[in-house]
Amino acid sequence: MKKTALLIVVAAASMHGVAAAAPTPPVKIAGAIGERFDLTVRGNFMKLDLEKDFFRPFRERNSKGGFIGLGKLADAAVHLAWNSGEADVVARKEKILDFIVRNQLPDGYTGFFAPDHRLKALWDIHEMGFIIQGLVSDWELFGNRAALDAAKRNVDYIIGNWAKMPDKVRVPRWCRRPAATVNGMRVSYKYRPGQMLNLPRVWRKGDVVELDFPMEVRAVRGRKRQSGRFAVMRGPVVYALDTRKVDAFRDWAPYDVQTEMSMDPNQLAYEDGKVFAVISTQHWSVGIANFSVDGHNPDNVRRVALTPFADEDNTLTYFRAPNIEDESIGGDELFGK
């Protein structure tokens, strides 16, 4: 989606020919906001050490990771210069954009990563995306054809090299039985939950990757302040309970409910789009293990529906178990067992 939108922006700009001059800003920023604008221009933008803080990494191009923000600076410079109209601000904008255009490699690359890390390492394409945005903004507002051409070459570099790269997909650690297919064929590469699934192939138009990450309901052991209790999760979503919907606790404070109520981690279920749990409204959990959906159950045992944590009506997220050492209660995937 992002690559498609980017190509549309560049292509649309190229159809209008070279602009004669920058358009006049529709409004003049004045008042308190205007003062803030002027402070940003004079007290920040015009005082930046461009060589030290922005240009140097792009000249050296030996980084393995990181984010500089040259593209964000370029886009901001274009809009600051356009709204200011002052000669020194425009000149500083031109210095930034001219550096990007002149520093672009013959293959279209505009980033600051070492060759072996381009497009592969985190933030490289992120950095270039903002650089392209700044270049296109300069074309749109100042008619800079060189900036537009540089943006197009950068897009061509990304698209041309993207198809040659192995795709990587992180398999969630909470997913016990992940599955992946490419064009209907089951992926045979070794992978497991919590690791990256590599798909080393030359991608062609029309290729279809299907990922199946079953989201089973599970009990996750609490840590630190929640030690001795567990949370209910389905996939990456935490589920909670509005205790006021339980008749026995309608007028209870959530903290008091937490010390009295217990939940069976072995009877969590996902049915018809909802998560269900079996609880006991009595401290000793009498009869909870023998709950039956269709049978006769003790008055203190009942089945309740849980809702995602984001539900503003929820009052309780961590629950007491009849046995917190129960093997059905797993550790927090982010911290291990």
pLDDT in tens, 127-164: 999 999 999 999 999 999 999 999 999 999 998 887 66
Per-residue DSSP letter, 113: B
Retrieve residue 122's tokens. 């985190």
Check residues 203 and 259 and name the one with the higher pLDDT: 259
Average pLDDT, the chain: 87
Q: What is the pLDDT of residue 166?
A: 65
What percent of the chain has a predicted confidence (pLDDT) above 90? Answer: 65
Residues 308 and 239: beta-carbon distance below 8 Å: yes
Query: Residue 37 contacts by C-beta under 8 Å, 6 or more apart in sequence?
Result: 29, 83, 84
- Whether 25 has a pLDDT exceeding 80, the answer reads no
Residue 176, token pair as written in the block: 């016990």
- The pLDDT value recorded for residue 19 is 41
- Whether the predicted model's global pTM rises above the 0.85 cut: no
Strands 217-221, 269-271: pairing kind: unpaired
DSSP 178-195: -EEEETTEEP-S---TTS
Name which residue leads in pLDDT, 307 or 27.
Answer: 307
User: How far apart (Å, rounded) are the C-alpha atoms in residues 277 and 249?
Assistant: 16
Mean pLDDT value of segment 4-15: 38
Amino acid in position 201 = R
Q: What pLDDT score does 12 carry?
A: 38
Which of 35-44, 82-91, 192-201, 236-245 shows the lowest per-residue confidence on average (mean pLDDT)? 192-201
Q: What are the domain boundaries of the chain?
A: 2-162, 167-212, 217-330
Of 70-84, 130-144, 291-305, where does mean pLDDT reach its minimum? 291-305
